[in-house]
């Protein structure tokens, strides 16, 4: 198994790129944002609990996402690997992921970090709001809050993987295909 994290601030293109990478490299794409949005859309107990938190651009509690990810990893035995998107977002989530993977005798190979300028992030999210209808993309203040939460709570995860020599920055500026080619090259180098 070869497992990757795709990392970067809101609007860095994690979702778009991980779907393409999963299909190219036969990996299972696990996005906590997508899973949580599905819960909200279905108005499950969990969905109702997290809806407001997501709308404000805050993080949902660690135990919720940790359990969701552990269940998905358990329910996909024999896969060639996973690409984690939007998870881990805190150092506690990173530790929990390591434990979940260790039980399966596997680990994270690399953290692919998409580097994008701040102004470009906000532009992309405002543009996405017009198509996606995502509540947390509509308002510039909420977007700025998500970027702030990212800086405070999520950026420390970078040092966690740097210490393990798993950090791999990739230029996330440019068009979708151009960025995909850079990421694919990085992944291919790790798999071979
Ligand atoms: P973004 O494009 O902002 O990175 P995501 O789709 O990854 O968006 O996540 C949307 C929202 O879902 C986050 O702002 C947060 O409220 C919640 N969320 C997603 N993943 C996590 C996680 N691992 N931990 C806590 N909250 C999460």
pLDDT per residue as tens digits for the range 127-182 = 988 888 888 888 899 999 999 999 999 999 999 999 999 999 999 999 999 999 99
Output the pLDDT for position 134: 85
Inside any domain, residue 189: no
* Residue span of the structural domain in which 118 resides: 2-183
What is the per-residue burial (b if ≥16 Cβ within 10 Å, else e) of 135-151? bbbbeeebbbbbbebbe
d(CA 71, CA 73): 6
Residue 190 in any domain: the answer is no
Ligand 1 midpoint to CA 55 (Å): 10
- Is the residue at 147 inside a domain? yes
Q: What is the pLDDT of residues 4-55, one digit of tens each?
A: 999 999 999 999 999 999 999 999 999 999 999 999 999 999 999 999 999 9
33 lines ligand 1 (CB under 6 A): yes
Residue 40 lies in a domain: yes
pLDDT for res 192: 73
**Does residue 191 lie within any of the structural domains?**
no
Residue 192 domain flag: no
In contact, 148 and 79? CB cutoff 8 Å: no
Domain count, the chain: 1
Which pLDDT does position 106 carry in this prediction?
95
Q: Is residue 144 part of a domain?
A: yes
> Does 22 contact ligand 1 (Cβ within 6 A)?
no
Chain-wide mean pLDDT for the chain?
Answer: 95
Which pLDDT belongs to residue 132?
84
CATH assignment at residue 123: 3.40.50.300
């Amino acid at each position: 198994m070869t497992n990757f994290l795709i990392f970067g601030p809101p609007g860095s293109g994690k979702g778009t790129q991980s779907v393409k990478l999963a299909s190219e490299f036969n990996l299972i794409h696990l996005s906590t944002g997508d899973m949580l949005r599905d819960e909200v859309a279905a108005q499950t107990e969990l969905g109702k609990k997290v809806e407001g938190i997501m709308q404000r651009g805050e993080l949902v509690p660690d135990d919720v996402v940790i359990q969701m990810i552990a269940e998905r990893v358990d329910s996909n035995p024999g896969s060639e690997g996973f690409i984690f998107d939007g998870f881990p977002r805190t150092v506690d989530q990173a530790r929990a992921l390591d434990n979940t993977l260790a039980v399966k005798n596997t680990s994270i190979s690399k953290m692919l970090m998409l580097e994008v300028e701040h102004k470009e992030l906000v532009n992309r999210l405002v543009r996405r709001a017009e198509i996606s209808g995502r509540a947390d993309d509509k308002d510039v203040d909420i977007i700025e809050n998500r970027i702030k939460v990212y800086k405070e709570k999520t950026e420390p995860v970078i040092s966690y993987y740097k210490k393990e020599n798993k950090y791999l920055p990739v230029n996330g500026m440019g068009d979708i295909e151009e960025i995909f080619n850079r990421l694919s090259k990085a992944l291919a180098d790790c798999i071979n």
